[in-house]
Structure formats: C-alpha cells, structure tokens
Amino acid sequence: MTKKSYLLDTSIILDDIQNIPHLYQNAQNRLFISDVVIEELDKKKDLQNETGYFAREFFRCINSDKPVKPHHKIRKIEGDFFKDVIFSKTPYEIPITLIYRQKYKTADLTHGQNDAKIAEIANDYGFILLSNDISLKIRSLAKGIAAQSLYRDRVENPSDIDFWHCFNLHKDKDFASLETHNDFLKLKDWSLIEINEQDNTESSLYYTGKKHFGIKLDNRFEEFKLDEIIKDADPYIKPINLEQKMLFAMLIHPKNRVSIATGSTGSGKTLIALQAGIYLVKKGIVDGIIYMRNTITANDKESELGFRKGDESQKLSYFMYPLYSAINFTIDRLQEQSLAKQIEYRGDVNTIEKKDATEYFLQKHHIEVVDIAHARGITIGKKFVIFDEVQNASNATVKLIGTRIGEESRVLFLGDWAQIDHPYLTKFRNGAVSLLQKALQDNIISGIQLRQTIRSDIAAYFGEKF
C-alpha cells in the first residue's frame, strides 16, 4: 500500500485529536503540520471552551525532545525548516513533521491569509490537505490541490432514526406472548413499543382501538401506564403528548442512566428534562441537577466567554437561555396555581440574568450551571446531568462529559441535530446523531426523537416555509 502524506489543518485537530492516530493507521501514512496551524492552536489554547480544551490537549501530547526515527524522505524546499516530534497519547507514539516556512509566496490577503499559506505548503510538497473547513477545501480543489475532509462517525439520514416498534396483540393474549416474537427478540433494551390491541369475530380480526405503550428491558416488555406514572410523579408541568410522556417515564425509570433526546424548538425536551430532574431530586435519587451546554452560538464562530461582560456566572447565563426559559415557564404556571406559590416565588424572573424567583428556584431544586470547559478532571456523583445543545459538540466532547459521570449519576443529552452552529460539524456528523446511532445499538442508552412541536402559528409557519 502506498503511503499517503497528509497536511493537517487546524480544524482536523480541533475536531478530535483521536483523528491523528486514525490517520496514521499504524505507520501506513505520514503526517505533517505547518507553522500556521501551530500558531492558530496556540492562540486558541487559552479559550475556556471545547476549542481551547482540544488545543491544550494537542500540545500536552506533543513531545519535541524525544528522538524521532526518520519516517519520510521528503526533501525540504529551500528556506523551510522541518522538526520531527512525537504525538504521545497512550497507546500511540506517532511521528509528526512540523514545517516552518520563513517566507510565504502568498500575497497579503484581507481574508483567508492563513488558509492560503496552508494550501501553499500542501501544493509545494504535493501533500493531501485535510480540512473540515469547507471553504478552504473548495478553494484548494479549485487550485488543483488535493484536498479532503475527514468525516468520521458520519450518520446518514438522521431523520430516519426511529426507536418506535409496533406490534399487534390479541386482547386474550398476555404480554409474555409478545416476548417470544422474533421481531421483539431482535430489539435492544429501551426500544419503544406500541401495541395495538386486536379482537375477532367469528369471521374477521379487527383493531379495538386500545393501545399499550412501553419499552423492552431485560428481554421483557415493560408496560408504561403513562397517565398513572405522571399522576404519581406529579411534575410541576405535565407532559401533554405521547412523546413527552414517554420521555418523562424513561428519564425517571430506576434503571435509566444514559439518554439522548432530540427535537426541534417547541418539542418540550428541555422542559420535560427539567421536570424529570426535579422529580429525581425530590425522591432523593440524585442530589441535584447539573445543566451544561456547549457555548457555541449562531453568530460566534467559536464561543469565547472572555469577551462577554460580567463574571463567569453572568457570562454563562447568556448561553443558558433554554434552561432559564424552562424554569420561568414553570414558575409562571406555579404562580397561576395558588396564592401560596405566588408568595413563594415572589420577585422577578429573567431568562438572561438570574434574579429573585429564578434564583430561588435554582437553589430550592439544587440546580447548578456548569461550563463544560471545567468538566475535565472531575467526577460528577449522584447528579442528574443535562447536556443541552449536544449537536454543537463533537464526539470527543461527548466522551469528555460521559467519562465524568460517576456512581449514581444519570446523564441526558439534548439537542436538535438539524440546527448546527459549530463551524466544523454538520447535521450528519455531530454529538447528537452519534448518540442517536449508539442508542439504536447499545443497551445502556435510551433514545427518543421528539417530532411533535408545540409553538405559535407564526413560529410554525416560519419553521415549515423557510
């Protein structure tokens, strides 16, 4: 097999440093990085977000002092300098050649200067330029430079992912007969089950109109008597459609530890997650709720909390709007129920700054807001963790959070895989769709896609027509 020589763009490293061993392929390929990329990573390493974390992680893995055996025969162009280093991350020891160029031929540009320099190196040495920056890839291809994207873990047709399975069962048969059905036996745990009840006359079989809902768990059908579950749990805000009821029932299930729920704005995913978390706190199943969200916005290429006003808590508040919106909706409904609740939740509510009633609600229900940048090196014990906007997180970030979950904790990932704000992710490749794919295969994860939305006529119009 002919070895390939890859020049890595910054986006490849910031996507996931595990891309490096994946590309190296046990010495089947050669890896190069230009000084421009090192410069860009250096500028990002102090950011207190996902981008900063991966930049720091890359530099932590670089060993420039260890002797490196020659791993290529590429001749330097006059004026360039090569430095071989080792990318060291157990169990890998991977040689990477850093290329420093004293003077670039690329003219000064008002935009895309660094991209042009990276492309120049790739062109001069005949490297394959790897970049998840689509604009850089397209410009390079237009100039005849070999360029590719690295889309590991791509999920095709995420809208087709469905956890529901429908069965027909005669009213005279019990659920145990379903458990011997071949199609049922093939299902993983936490598969969502809908049973249509049938009856018969002497000459025909017909549907009675009665339905049963539940899940497959431990090779058995477990019925969810949804209205009874919700009545017994008595959440502040009651789920109002089948999907919301199923999500709530799964989240409070004694055996549920990891869940993924996706849905567009108006599906109620954050609101139902909050109600489930409060129930778990009240029952003493967890000690509190931790809400975290990737700090990527639709108008920030990469989020940088340091540029916002206020202390860290105030800065984070800008990104925690979905949580505060759900809290304040809950408070509004509580205040409508009785004078006592109006007195208890007195004061103002605010979806940006935590004031009075909102602050009291957070404290009463042991709700914390945590920046994912601070998750490294900690273990989260006996908490209900809500990771929102997971579609704007890479698989490496999902792994970072997942490996922080300690004993007696639960984690719920929320997101809308079609609404991507992250510069290097797409609706086919992001943390949300990866988790949905895992939930189809692995017994440890429950999953649901909320397809019903509850929103105003205006919101529905723009959602459908634009």
Q: What is the dihedral of CA 222, 276, 435, 213, to 10 degrees?
A: 30
- Does pLDDT of 316 surpass 90? no
Its pTM stands at 0.78
Does residue 220 lie in a domain region? no
The reply to whether 153 falls in a domain is: no
The CATH number of the domain holding residue 304 is 3.40.50.300
Greater model confidence, 1 or 466: 466
Domain ranges, residue 105: 4-148
Burial class (CB in 10 A: 0-12, 13-18, 19+), 62: middle
Average pLDDT, stretch 88-100? Answer: 93
Backbone Cα Rg of the chain: 26
125-139 confidence digits (pLDDT tens): 999 999 988 899 999
Query: How far apart are the C-alpha atoms of 7 and 98, rounded to whole Å?
Result: 10
Does 121 share its domain with 243? no
On the question of pLDDT at 268 being above 50, the answer is yes
- Residue pLDDT, tens place only, 153-208: 778 889 999 999 999 999 999 999 999 999 999 999 999 999 999 999 988 999 99
Residue 137 and residue 248 share a domain: no
Picking from 148, 166, 191, the residue at the C-terminal end of a domain is 148
Residue 436 has pLDDT above 70, yes or no: yes
pLDDT confidence of 305, banded at 50, 70, 90? very low
Q: Domain total for the chain? A: 2
Is the domain of 254 the same as that of 111?
no
Strands 128-130 and 92-101 come out as unpaired
Residue 446 resides in a domain = yes
Q: What is the pLDDT of residue 297?
A: 47
Same domain, 240 and 365: yes
Given the structure tokens 């579609």, which residue do they identify?
391
Q: Is residue 157 part of a domain?
A: no
Residues 249 and 398 in one domain: yes
Spell out a b/e string for 127-150, using b for 16 or more CB atoms within 10 Å of the CB, else e.
bbbbbbbeebbebbeeeebbbebb
Last-in-domain residue among 148, 167, 198: 148
Output the pLDDT for position 322. 84
Write down the mean pLDDT value for the chain.
88
Q: Quick one: CA torsion of 331, 336, 338, 344, rounded to 10 degrees?
A: 30
Six token digits for residue 390: 């997971």
Assigned domain for 185 exists: no
CATH of the domain at 126: 3.40.50.1010
209 found inside a domain: no
For residue 41, tell me if it sits in a domain.
yes
Domain co-membership, 457 together with 314: yes
- Count Cβ atoms within 10 A of the Cβ of residue 121 and give its class: 0-12 exposed, 13-18 middle, 19 or more buried: buried
Instruction: Report the pLDDT value the prediction gives residue 351, as an integer from 0 to 100.
Output: 47
